[in-house]
Amino acid sequence: MEGWDTSTKSTLTQIPLLSAKAGPRDGASWTQRLKEEYKSLIAYTQMNKSNDNDWFHISAANPEGTRWTGKCWYVHNLLKYEFDLQFDIPVTYPSTAPELELPQLDGKTQKMYRGGKICLTVHFKPLWAKNCPRFGIAHALCLGLAPWLAAEVPILVDSGMIKHKDDSSSSAES
């Protein structure tokens, strides 16, 4: 955690770590892992809400917990930009991090590939590998999606690649 700002360190230490090293093909072990994932996500969501920093909501889109959908948002220049969020749990999870997708932004930035998947290769994936199986979905959101939104949304807005939903010239981008 060296090199991280105090806020990131504080947030990360409050997200419960996971212990079950199980993926979608591991039966009862996967059920245990899902319980840990939910506990971690609930803790992270409650922490964000208590700090007035609510910026996403997600839920499992299927009973197996292998497909997740929701929304995430970022406030820039006092305007809220909201995006659909989706991802699948890879069969090699937790060894492989989920690929977070923002389909509405597909093709709008070079830090994205194949259907709106955000590129986390350089910074996040090595961190995930180092912390497997302790990291889970909440950690992917905290250390992957949140910094990506903070870095990319202002650039996309300022360059005109995305418009606010209240902008009359907008095409339902946000």
Q: Which residues are catalytic?
A: 119
Classify residue 131 by burial, with Cβ atoms within 10 Å: 0-12, 13-18, 19+: middle
Q: Which of 134, 102, 104 is nearest to 120 (CA)?
A: 102
Ordered DSSP codes for 96-142: S----B-GGGTTS-SSEETTTEE--TTTHHHHHHHTTTT--HHHHII
Angle between helices 6-14 and 28-50 (to 10 degrees): 140
Q: Which of 158, 14, 136, 155 is nearest to 68 (CA)?
A: 136
Residues 153 and 9: their CA atoms lie apart, in Å, by 23
Residues 3 and 167: their CA atoms lie apart, in Å, by 39
Inter-residue contact 145 to 54 (CB < 8 Å): no
